[in-house]
């Protein structure tokens, strides 16, 4: 009997019951929060009116021919939707019983904890009210901290449980077209893709303004003049039926362009030898794609972003935020939706791939970001926060300090590590709503924007410790949309009012200005010692690089020119609003 009393007096039981109380309380709160989140999700789920399923079923029924890939997609989405709905309900039922049990344990343990709590000797000089306050102080602290801990844990848990389904939907791989591949491709992990080396990229035209999107062609020969009306110099041409301001990209003997209007998104592949349409792929809505088309300006359209061709894969980004990866046969390898960008002009940044990463400059009013997307899976390898936005495109500069991804924004030029996405340097040197992309040549970055300023930024230091300083500024004639190009000694650009401007790369001094017929949206391309640039009326200007303007050719393309031409192996590939041309020197 004496032993029992001594045992009672020890604080073992009090500690035990306290621990059980805390654990049971935490667990109960966690379960409670999960139940609330689950209940909310069930209330939101509406299996009767699933918009995407309804849309896909109508699309399937209206298709002229039976589309097995679409049928498989409907089956996959139907399964996911039902599974999510009924699983949530099962979890809700189980959770209610678990909560009942854990709350019961909590109450019993709490009762025992109060019973066995250490009894301190009463102090005669402490007033009654203070004694009670002191006696319950520990409990108050306990409950307060337990509540804070539970709340934090619950919020984290609810966040992760909520994002689980979203992640599942986001990562939904599109079923590859065709029979067995369709079923196999739907639920399996994406196979790793071998990324092409930089040397391979140089002999192709993988992105907007060529390798690295810097406006410099690896090939140094190209026809100087041609005539689309008479057909002189035209190897082949193809009619285009869908709108798109993006430029052609080429990998091997295949040329890719994207097109889109409010409802239809397409990617087309042409044979560069013959101009034959190899395939045309309609890009269906993804499970998380926005249901409404974005508001875009006519000058921007729904397919302004130039694709990226990268070995076995090509990538396309549309104005609604849908990004897809296709293989060379047009099979969709993966797709993801970034959501409609909060962007009053429409999205125009082009894609750029290097190594295993696809760079998506997703600048928008809210939370602008540079996404480093894994080319094999479509998931983010990293995400870099952006302070300011632009409508420009990223470039890859092969500097003496290693490769860098360089972006322009409303106030900065920024350099990023292409592998980690870490910001290497940032310098304030811009202003206004920036559309021209940066240009890099010989250790110097050049950024410019109309109604603001142009800046020459010098990169110095060592790999991993690069400093960027503004060497000079220029604010007379400036580009609005067209991006600049550098030949190492000079930078060249076209303005929106119809000037071709040449600046000294080291000093920013104006070397020459050539006034031409119309303004420029398309960007200049450096091919050997020649620069090609087309104005909005469709006049092509070919001039020699140097400290004076030396025009080699000036002729009409017959149509307005928004897109920048591609140059490969003695040929020019040109997209006009209605035609795709391949020009070849005799």
Partner 1 sequence: MSERKKIDRRDFMRFTGAAAFTGATWMAVGEKAEAKYWQLDPAKCTQCGQCTTHCVLNPSAVKCLNQFDICGYCDLCFGYLQPGSRDLDSGAENQLCPTAAIERKYIEAPYYEYKIHEDKCIGCAKCVKACLIFGNGSFYLQIRQDICINCNECSIAKSCPSDCFSEVPQSQPYMFLTGDTYLAHPPALS
Q: What's the min distance (Å) between Cβ of 66 and partner 1?
A: 6
Coil vs helix vs strand at 60: helix
- Residue 218 binds partner 1, judged by CB under 8 A: no
- Report d(CA 393, CA 483) in Å as an integer: 9
Other Cβ atoms closer than 10 A to 356: 19
Q: What's the min distance (Å) between Cβ of 283 and partner 1?
A: 19
- Residue 111 binds partner 1, judged by CB under 8 A: no
Between 56 and 384, name the residue whose CB sits nearer to partner 1.
56
Strands 369-374 and 357-362: antiparallel
Q: What's the min distance (Å) between Cβ of 271 and partner 1?
A: 33
- Residue 375 binds partner 1, judged by CB under 8 A: no
User: Phi, psi (5° rounding) for residue 577?
Assistant: -55, -30
528 torsion bin: left (phi>0), alpha (psi -120 to 50), beta (else): left
- Report d(CA 260, CA 245) in Å as an integer: 10
Q: What's the min distance (Å) between Cβ of 210 and partner 1?
A: 43
List Cα–Cα distances, 30 to 80, 140, 146, 151, 283, in angstroms: 26, 20, 12, 8, 42
Which member of 1, 2, 61, 191 binds partner 1 (CB under 8 A)? 61
Which member of 82, 131, 141, 291 binds partner 1 (CB under 8 A)? 82
Partners of 408 in beta bridges: 413
Q: How is residue 466 written in tokens?
A: 């690069």
Between 71 and 423, name the residue whose CB sits nearer to partner 1.
71
- Residue 42 binds partner 1, judged by CB under 8 A: yes
- Report d(CA 505, CA 475) in Å as an integer: 15
Q: What's the min distance (Å) between Cβ of 75 and partner 1?
A: 4
Stretch that binds partner 1, among 21-29, 58-66, 169-177, 384-392 (CB under 8 A): 58-66
- Report d(CA 110, CA 117) in Å as an integer: 10
Which member of 47, 147, 231, 488 binds partner 1 (CB under 8 A)? 47
- Residue 15 binds partner 1, judged by CB under 8 A: no
Which member of 86, 97, 133, 198 binds partner 1 (CB under 8 A)? 86
- Residue 48 binds partner 1, judged by CB under 8 A: yes
- Report d(CA 508, CA 513) in Å as an integer: 13
- Residue 55 binds partner 1, judged by CB under 8 A: no
Stretch that binds partner 1, among 64-72, 413-421, 432-440, 503-511 (CB under 8 A): 64-72
Contact 556, 225 (CB under 8 A): no
- Report d(CA 246, CA 354) in Å as an integer: 20
Between 77 and 222, name the residue whose CB sits nearer to partner 1.
77
Non-local CB neighbours of 497 within 8 Å, separated by 6+ positions: 477, 519
Residue 307 is given by DSSP the state P
Establish how many alpha carbons lie within 13 A of residue 453's alpha carbon, considering only the half-sphere containing its beta carbon.
17
Which member of 29, 74, 503, 542 binds partner 1 (CB under 8 A)? 74
Stretch that binds partner 1, among 69-77, 173-181, 259-267, 352-360 (CB under 8 A): 69-77
Q: How is residue 419 written in tokens?
A: 């592998």
Between 90 and 282, name the residue whose CB sits nearer to partner 1.
90
Give the orientation angle of helix 68-115 with respect to helix 51-62, to 10 degrees. 170
Q: Locate tokens 């395939």: which residue? A: 279
Contact 376, 354 (CB under 8 A): no
Rg over alpha carbons for the chain, rounded to the nearest Å, is 31
Between 42 and 585, name the residue whose CB sits nearer to partner 1.
42
- Residue 66 binds partner 1, judged by CB under 8 A: yes
Stretch that binds partner 1, among 67-75, 121-129, 190-198, 218-226 (CB under 8 A): 67-75
Size of the residue set binding partner 1 (CB under 8 A):
21
Between 67 and 162, name the residue whose CB sits nearer to partner 1.
67
- Residue 43 binds partner 1, judged by CB under 8 A: yes
Which member of 50, 310, 371, 575 binds partner 1 (CB under 8 A)? 50
Which member of 33, 34, 52, 70 binds partner 1 (CB under 8 A)? 70
- Residue 78 binds partner 1, judged by CB under 8 A: yes
Between 70 and 441, name the residue whose CB sits nearer to partner 1.
70
- Quote helix, strand, coil % in the chain, to nearest 5: 30, 30, 40
Contact 170, 336 (CB under 8 A): yes
Q: What's the min distance (Å) between Cβ of 325 and partner 1?
A: 25
Nearest to 18 by CA among 120, 152, 154, 143: 143
- Residue 79 binds partner 1, judged by CB under 8 A: yes
Which member of 57, 117, 506, 537 binds partner 1 (CB under 8 A)? 57
Partners of 279 in beta bridges: 269
Stretch that binds partner 1, among 71-79, 134-142, 156-164, 276-284 (CB under 8 A): 71-79
- Residue 44 binds partner 1, judged by CB under 8 A: no
Q: How is residue 472 written in tokens?
A: 């000079």
Coil vs helix vs strand at 89: helix
- Report d(CA 18, CA 183) in Å as an integer: 54
Which member of 13, 23, 41, 71 binds partner 1 (CB under 8 A)? 71
Q: What's the min distance (Å) between Cβ of 57 and partner 1?
A: 6
- Residue 496 binds partner 1, judged by CB under 8 A: no
**Footprint of partner 1 (CB under 8 A):** 42-43, 47-48, 50, 53, 56-57, 60-61, 66, 70-71, 74-75, 78-79, 82, 85-86, 89
């Amino acid at each position: 009997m004496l032993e029992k009393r001594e045992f009672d007096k020890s604080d073992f039981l009090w500690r035990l019951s306290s621990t059980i109380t805390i654990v049971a309380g935490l667990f109960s709160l966690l379960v409670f929060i999960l139940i609330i989140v689950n209940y909310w999700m069930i209330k939101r789920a509406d299996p009767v009116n699933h918009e995407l399923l309804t849309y896909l079923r109508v699309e399937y029924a209206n298709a002229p021919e039976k589309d097995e890939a679409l049928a498989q997609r409907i089956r996959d989405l139907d399964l996911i939707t039902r599974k999510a709905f009924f699983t949530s309900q099962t979890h809700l039922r189980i959770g209610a019983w678990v909560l009942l049990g854990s709350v019961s344990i909590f109450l019993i343990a709490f009762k025992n904890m109060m019973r066995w709590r250490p009894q301190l000797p009463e102090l005669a000089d402490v007033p009654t009210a203070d004694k009670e306050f002191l006696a319950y102080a520990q409990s108050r602290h306990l409950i307060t901290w337990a509540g804070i801990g539970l709340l934090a844990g619950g919020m984290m848990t609810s966040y992760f449980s909520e994002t689980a389904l979203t992640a599942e939907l986001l990562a939904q791989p599109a079923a590859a077209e065709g029979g067995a591949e369709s079923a196999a491709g739907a639920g399996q992990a994406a196979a790793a893709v071998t990324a092409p080396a930089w040397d391979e990229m140089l002999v192709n035209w993988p992105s907007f303004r060529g390798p690295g999107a810097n406006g410099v062609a690896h090939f140094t020969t190209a026809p100087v003049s041609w005539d689309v009306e008479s057909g002189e110099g035209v190897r082949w041409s193809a009619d285009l039926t869908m709108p798109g301001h993006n430029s052609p990209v080429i990998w091997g003997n295949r040329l890719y362009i994207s097109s889109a209007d409010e409802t239809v998104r397409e990617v087309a592949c042409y044979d560069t030898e013959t101009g034959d349409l190899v395939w045309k792929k309609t890009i269906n809505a993804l499970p998380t794609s926005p249901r409404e088309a974005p508001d875009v300006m006519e000058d921007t359209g729904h397919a302004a972003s130039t694709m990226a061709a990268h070995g076995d894969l090509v990538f396309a980004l549309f104005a609604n935020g849908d990004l897809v990866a296709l293989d060379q046969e047009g099979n969709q390898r993966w797709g993801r939706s970034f959501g409609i960008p909060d962007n009053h002009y429409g999205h125009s940044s082009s894609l750029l791939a290097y190594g295993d990463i696809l760079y998506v400059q997703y600048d928008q009013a809210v939370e602008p970001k540079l996404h480093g997307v894994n080319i094999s899976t479509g998931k983010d390898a990293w995400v870099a926060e952006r302070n300011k936005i632009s409508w420009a495109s990223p470039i890859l500069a092969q500097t003496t300090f290693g490769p860098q991804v360089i972006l322009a924004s409303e106030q900065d030029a920024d350099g990023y590590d292409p592998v980690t996405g870490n910001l290497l340097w940032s310098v304030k040197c811009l202003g206004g709503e920036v559309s021209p992309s940066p240009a890099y040549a010989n250790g110097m970055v050049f950024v410019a924007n109309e109604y603001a300023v142009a800046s020459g930024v010098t990169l110095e230091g060592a790999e991993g410790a690069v400093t960027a300083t503004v060497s000079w500024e220029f604010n007379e004639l400036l580009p609005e949309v067209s991006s600049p190009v550098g030949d190492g000694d000079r930078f060249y650009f076209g303005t929106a009012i119809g000037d071709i401007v040449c600046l000294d790369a080291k000093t920013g001094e104006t070397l020459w200005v050539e006034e031409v017929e119309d303004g420029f949206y398309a960007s200049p391309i450096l091919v050997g010692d020649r620069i090609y640039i087309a104005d909005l009326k469709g006049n092509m200007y070919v001039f020699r690089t140097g400290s004076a303007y030396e025009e080699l050719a000036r002729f009409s393309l017959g149509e307005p020119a928004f897109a920048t031409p591609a140059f490969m192996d003695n040929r020019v590939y040109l997209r006009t609003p209605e035609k795709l041309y391949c020009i070849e020197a005799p």
